[in-house]
Structure formats: structure tokens, C-alpha cells
A and B are shown apart, each in its own frame.
Chain A
Amino acid sequence: MPYRQARWEEPLIIERSSEGKVGFSLPDVEAYTTGIPSELLRQRPPRLPELSETEVVRHYIRLSQENYGVDLGIYPLGSCTMKYNPKILDRVVATTKLQELHPLQDNGSVQGILRIFYELSQWLTEIVGLSKVSLQPAAGAHGEFTGAMIMRAYHKKNGDLEKRDELIVPDSAHGTNPASAAMAGFKVVVIPSGEDGCVDVRALRSSLSPRTAGLMLTNPNTLGIFEADILEIARLVHEDGGLLYYDGANLNAMLGKAKPGRMGFDIVHINIHKTFATPHGGGGPGSGPVAVTKELERFLPIPTVECAGGKYYLDFDRPDSIGKVRGYWGNSSVLVRAYAYISMMGQDGLTKVADVSVLNANYLAKKLSKIRGLELPYADKLRKHEFVLSAAKMSRETGVTAAHISKRLLDFGIHAPTVYFPLIVDEALMIEPTETVSKQDLDEAAEAFSKISTEAYSTPDIVRSAPNSTAVSRIDEARASHPKTMKLTWRSDT
């Protein structure tokens, strides 16, 4: 499996600039002649590059070739669900009937998109087993913030907010959970995981108090293990007057298998760009709809999408709503892709997604745990969509760390796993193959790990000096972040 990424050594686009060029044409109009007061005007033109269209296109196409995506190979970043994005999803949104829709158009002219929003909302509530959804949040973390604000509104409505100011988060949680909780004004109480990698019910019990606003949890958790005590956990939190929040980052393995609503969760965010196959765009746009129980519907952000007499409309008249969480109604082009995906997959297809994502993870976990220097903590537990290996043994014995392994994998054309997360596993390599990889991909990945292990125990410098097949070799991170050498724009440089 030889891999070699393009290496263009492409200069900064500003370095390609020469005065007088332009990459854009406009229709001729009469010049605007009225005098504009000079204090309103810009003193110097912005120092943007001056280039023809050809040059701009070549520059960015070359850069794209220096970027690895799912379409090039396996991308097993744990908790990121980097599944293949069906091409039809991109095609259906490439229409002026969506792209050139203005959000303030009258309802009569946007019945198509509103119907898509409405039906997608219904499907999502069915999938997570709750009552109503808001499609507005732009990303998972934005959904978490929205959900935490809903919790806040709920306790406020009950006259309880003053005293209920703590949100409980396990130490294995995604970093966004505690950050979102803090942003919504809660104190974060971290509880340690138990010996089995799951929520320690005893620790939870001792953290619960009249100050508890709720608990944020992902299930399966970040080790890929299903929280088997979830019903007991839900009972304890609810008995104490708290709400249960579900981080939907790991929903993929639950499709058609178990609904968060049935597990006792009150608020769920869904990562559309993970579970529902919309492309992640190099970091975004994503979409993070939030679903809630009947009791919490009144707090959802305004507006909601409703239907009456066969007509779809946006409802702004929601006095208990937490208000606006963003401009307009949601990341439409992402949501329409998800609508197309769910519509295409149907119940059978989605259940198959869960089945095979779990099959793939367990298959690869079994193969990798046999490799010298790698261990699978909590080995007696079943895994769901992902698993976490520890390279602690290899690190002790050879000096080759999880970070080194991840860099060496790049040389094999395999994107690295998530590393050093969750924090409860030493030298963690968090691996999520997804359902869209083939057995051959998995076997090749296992072979690459095996080869790296052999290298670690015989010629560790090969691993430690990787990668060498990528557009650039190892990067000077210290220089990147040092106050004296840090460069965040080209302004001071060229």
C-alpha cells in the first residue's frame, strides 16, 4: 500500500500576486458619482492578492491535493464518524432552488424546504425517541449549548435555577460537554469513570445533590462501551430533579438498535455531519439539531417548523423559548443532505449502518489487540462503533508513543486515529472505522499497525521520524505556538 501525497510547495497566494490583475468580471454600470464624505472611506485598499482566475484556481486545486479526505481512504478518527458521503447528497443541494433561497421569503414560496425541515424533524425525533426537535444549531457543540440553555430554562421555570447550578460530566466526556455546560452558566462537576470504563454509579450517587441541574453523557461512551447501567443512572438523576443530556456524537451504533429516549434521556443533540453522512468540509459546516421530551418542547429555540392544514410555516410565537441561538433557521444545505440520506437508507439501511459499524469496530479491535505492544483496555467488554487502544506498553518498551504511531500511519495512507483521548486511557488511540470501510480496508489497516509494531521493536527511528509520504514532514509545533515566532496572518510577513 504505497502512499504518496502531492507535494507542491505552493507559495502563499499573496506571493503569487502581481499588480493590476483581477480574477473577476462585473457588468458595466454607470459609475456612482455622488460624493461620499471622506471620513467614511477606507484610506488604503486592502492588501489582497491580485491574480487571474486561472492562477487562483490552480493554487487552490494544488492545495486540495495536499489534503486527505474520506474519498482517498480510511479515516478512523474516533468519535468523529468519518463515514463515506454519498455523492447524490452533494448533487441534490447544488440547485438554485436551495442555494438562492433567501431566509426571509414568505412561507408560500418556501413550502418545499419547509416540508423537508418538517419531515426531517419528525424522522430525527423518531430515531432518538423524543418528542420534538430544533434544526437550528450549527454544530454538535452548538447543540450542546442549546441543550444546556434548555436545561437552564427548565429549572428557571421551576424556580430552581438559583440552587441548581451544577452539571455533572464524566471524565471520559468529549471536551465540548464541560465547555458547553460552563458556557451556559453551570458549574461543572466531573465524576471519575469506574473500573469497567463506564459511569461509576456510586460516584454519581455521591455527586448528585439538590444543586444538580443534570448529567451530560454519551452512550456508547468514548471507549465505545455501552453504559449498561443507563436506566439506573437515569432514574437517579431524575429522582434528584435533574435532567439527562445525550451527546449524540456516538449515535451511529444506536440507529434502529436503541433510542436515547428509551434510555431515559431528556435532551439529545444529533451530529448530522457524523451520523447522517454529510461531509465535514475540513472542519465544518456541520449541523447539530436538538431533540427534547414533550415537557421541554416549550423551551426550544425560536422559530420551530410547524404544519397546519397541509401548509408549512415557521412559528415564532413561543413565549417560553430560550430565544435565538443563531441567525435564521439552520444549516439548510447540510440538513437537506441528511434528509436525502435518511430517505434513501430507510429503517433497514440505518439499522444496517449500526450493525456493520459495530461489526467493523469489533473486528478491527480483535485484530489490533493481538499486535505486540498494543492493548485493549476493558477487553472483556463488547465494543460498539469505536474502541480505544493503549500503546502504553509499546511506549515503555520502545519509546514509540501513540503520537508516533499516528504519524507513521499517515505514511501508509491511513488517517490517524484520535490520540490521547479519552484521558482515562494511557497512550490512547481511539479508532472508529465506520460502516463504510471494507474488510480489505480493515485488514490493510491492521497490517499497517502490525508493521509499525515490528518497526517499533526493531527500527524505532523509522516510526519516530514519520511521516515522510505526506505533503510536509513533521512540523515544528513549538515554533508555531511560540510568542516570538507565531504567525497567524501574512500581514507581518510579506
Chain B
Amino acid sequence: MSEAHPYIPNSAPRVMEEMLREIGIRDIEALFADIPESIRKDSTLRLPGSRSEMETGVQVSGLLSKNISTRDVISFLGGGVWPHYVPAAVDEIVSRSEFITSYTPYQPEISQGMLQSLFEYQSMVAELMEMEFANSSLYDWATALGEAARMASRVTGRNEFLVPHFMQPDRLGTLKTFCEPAGIKIVEVEGDRRTGTILQDELQRKVSSKAAGVYIENPSYLGLLEPNARRIGEIAHEKGAMFVVGVDPLSLGLFASPGELNADIAVGEGQPLGNHMNYGGPLLGLFACRGDRLLRQMPGRLIGMTTTKDGKSKAFTMVLQTREQHIRREKAVSNICTNEALCAVAAATYLALMGPRGLERLCKTILANSNYAMRELGKLNGLKVPIFDAQHFKEFAIGFDGVRLTCSDVNAALLQRGIQGGNCLHDQFPELGQSALYCVTETHTRESIDRLVEAMKAILEGQ
């Protein structure tokens, strides 16, 4: 306790003495005298000894350098977190210490910067989704879906939630965890084996007057656009269920928005909007809805635009807080408090840089690259590319049964050639046989795709 610590100014011995004198106690231990001795004993932390800043930097960077990132190899992994380019300007904005070292904007007058940024984020997400309202973030797509199902159940007073068979596994898992204590039953609707789309007959059969919501992912987990999305929404609405649409927001530069599909609730993953993959977190849960009835049941912080009391300037503040835990406690619509605000600022900056033209161009670039990959891989004998006969966006499934190889064999062989293949689908969807989900974005060059095709060719030829 003799030396001052760089982050603890009052650890300087003379300062500390002065403060103790002021309080009227002899030593710091006296401040802990109210903790029972049986708890105090054995409170020593068996941790490594302290390190200097320099040593810490070297140590942590050294550990991280053992990772092989998607920049070190060519990677075709996607499936819920995707490699996209993050403009330097986005990283710069979210490194601003005024943003990064602030708390939830409980004091709006001194937090206008964060509040206006989040209001703009809400506006841009609402524009992109063509929904009436968007909140200022949830943790990720998976938890946003869990919240959506619970919200649909609260609003309709019903307890079944219908989901597509070909669904992303973490989202399905999280949905189940969120729904179980609320007594909401998850009902799976089969997909068409040829097109991968939802079987309408089966949906008709399964959606009943107990259905709180019908959920689709568009593009789906397996990368394809749902051609019957509007009809699925109609079926849900005919039965009085909410229509919930999950999206990759980048696809909305070109493809139909949840609003156009008549969704009541829209969710999605905001990571592609200027957020790095970071090994899967933090992510950014998008959440939007329409209509006052749903708004009052919406989870998460909401920022509103108003004016100062003197009416002279516009101003921003958190609104409808009576939905939230700190006011409503056990009757709150959700327990969420800390969210992903900084990731939302990244998304706002990203969307402002892109604009409608940039976003459309990005979509077309992704389509061009992914279709090029599908076309070239499809030329290889025995490979089924894509498995489904449908319009794909940036991901597609490849079937290996025709070449009598397992997905993990293919991936191991690819890895030897400096390529991370797509993630294997067989465990979750045995009916697809040996198969993998490939992701191609604007970060992939023609050369990198050609290298994949050459490597795949060599592997298929047993080289």
C-alpha cells in the first residue's frame, strides 16, 4: 500500500493519510470493520501479480497474435456474423472518448451527443426496415427474437410462436430459452426441400388461434430470399397472429423491407453495419415495430426528439420509460438496461456514410461476388451449388454428397490451403446430407474466390 497507483490518485500515501484524518479513522481497514471476520478471512485473491502497462500490452497482444484471423486466411464463414468492411471513419467516431466513456444518457442536457446519435440510429433503422418505430438497440438478433416472441405473446394473449425449419441454431436456442418461462411453445414449420422456402400448406395447418406470431428470416439462414413472404404474412394476419420478420439489414439496400412485407415486428443483426465481428460479440440487436399498441410493449430504450422548455432549440431525451425496469420493476416489458449503444452509433455512422446509393451498390457488389462464387463452384463435378433453387443474397449452401466427402474433411483440406471453408450444416439439418454454408461479401475479391474454386477442385480430384 506504499506506492501510488496510476489509476487510483488517492492511493498516494500522503493524500490517503489526509483523507483518513478528515474522516476521523486511523486506517482503511476500519472502513471494513462491519464485515464479519469469517467472511473477511480467506479473501485474498490468488491472481497473477500486477504488471506494468507495457507488460500488459505485450502479454495480451502476444496471446491475441496466436489467433489466425479471417484477414490471415481466406474465409467463407458467415451464418449470423459476417465479414464486412468497416470504414475507417466509423472506427474513428466510435473511438471518441466522449462517446465511449459515457453512461446511459440519464441526464439528457449533458448527453445530447449520444441521444441525437441514437435518435438518428432509430430513424435510419426505421427507414431501412420501413417500420414505424425502432428502439435504440438490444444485445443481438437472437435476443431480439426472444423479446419479439414474448412481445407478440403479450400483445395477442396467445402462446404459440411459429418458426421456419431452416433457422439459425443460436437464434432458435435463444428463442427457446426466452420463451420457456413465459409458457410460449415453439412450433416448427417445415421447409421445401427443393427451394428451402417455407411450406405454405404446412404453415396453414399449424397456425391456429393460439398463434401469437409467425416468424421468418429473410434472407433465411441458408441465404435465400423467401418468395412467399407476403403470403406468409397474410396467413399470420388471417389468424390474428403477429408477423415477425428477421433480416440482415444490408440486404435492405435492394430487397423488400419488413415494412413492405407487412411485418408487425422486425428484428435483425446490426453487426454488418460498421461493427467488427470480434469473435461474435458485441453484436447489435435491431428491433422495430409498428402501431401504438406494440410500441407500448416494446423492449429497450427509446429516444425521442423534443425541445428545450423555453422552446428555443430541439433536444433529445429517453422516452416511454414507464415500460422499463427502473420504473416498472417486475411489471416491466423487459429487464434490459445496458444495451449496445456504441454499436448503434457505429451503425448510424455507417448508414450515413453509405446512403441509399452506397447501400444499393454494396448489395449489388455482394450479389455479384456471391453469384460468381456459386457459378464457378457449380462448374465442379458432383458438387451441389447451391443446394436450393432460389434467389440468394450473400450466403448459399453447398452439398458434398455427390463427391462422397464430408464437410469436415473438405474444411480440413481447405484449411491446409489457407482457406476457412463454410460452416457445416449436417448436424443441424441431416436431411441436407454433407453440406456447408458459404458466405461471400464485398470483402472477397475475384482472386480469393478463384483460389477457393481451385482448392476445391484439387480436393475433389483427390490431390
Contacts and interface: CB of A to CB of B under 8 A. Distances in A.
Task: Report whether chain A binds chain B.
Answer: yes
Interface in B127-179: 127-128, 130, 132-134, 136-137, 139-143, 168, 170-171, 173-174, 176-177
Interface in A95-138: 95-106, 108-113, 115-116, 123, 126-127, 138
Interface residues of A, number: 207
A298 interface: no
Contact of B101 (A69, A225, A330, A410): A69
A348 B68 CA distance: 34
B39 A263 contact: yes
A212 to B, nearest CB: 16
Given A42-B252, A60-B348, A282-B103, 7 more contacts: A12-B120, A17-B355, A22-B354, A56-B349, A138-B282, A285-B340, A326-B174
B462 interface: no
B368 A98 contact: no
B67 A109 contact: yes
B331 interface: yes
11 contacts: A9-B313, A48-B359, A69-B99, A138-B139, A179-B332, A231-B38, A332-B280, A471-B110, A472-B313, A475-B306, A486-B304
B101 A327 contact: no
B352 A51 contact: yes
User: What is the predominant secondary structure among interface residues of chain A facing chain B?
Assistant: loop
Nearest to B269: A327
Interface in A312-339: 322-334, 336, 339
B101 A491 contact: no
A343 B67 contact: no
Contact of A329 (B52, B281, B361): B281
B109 A112 contact: no
Given A61-B93, A285-B343, A126 B45 contact: yes
B80 interface: yes
A281 B214 CA distance: 34
B113 A471 contact: yes
Contacts of A179: 325, 328-330, 332, 334-335
Contacts of A324: 142, 170, 173-174, 176-177
B59 interface: yes
Nearest to B302: A488
B353 A474 contact: no
Contacts of A257: 32, 35, 40, 43
B102 to A, nearest CB: 4
Contacts of A353: 8
Given A99-B276, A326-B170, A185 B182 contact: yes
A483 interface: yes
Contact of B355 (A23, A140, A181): A23
A226 B128 contact: no
B391 A37 contact: yes
B105 interface: yes
B441 to A, nearest CB: 11
Contact of A262 (B43, B182, B311): B43
B34 interface: yes
A73 B446 CA distance: 50
A178 B326 CA distance: 10
Contact of B97 (A71, A88, A336, A382): A71
- 7 closest A-B pairs by beta carbon, nearest first, are A328-B280, A103-B280, A185-B181, A324-B173, A67-B113, A281-B342, A283-B341
A348 B349 contact: no
Interface in A172-192: 174-176, 178-185, 188
A48 B446 CA distance: 30
Nearest to A334: B282
B403 interface: no
A293 interface: no
Contacts of A489: 119, 122-123, 126-127, 132-134
A439 B127 contact: no
Contact of A488 (B20, B38, B319): B319
Contacts of B357: 20, 22, 45, 50
A410 B107 contact: yes
A481 B139 contact: no
A63 B320 CA distance: 23
A50 B308 contact: no
Contacts of A322: 177
Given A102-B81, A179-B330, A283-B105, A112 B361 contact: no
B332 A323 contact: no
A294 interface: no
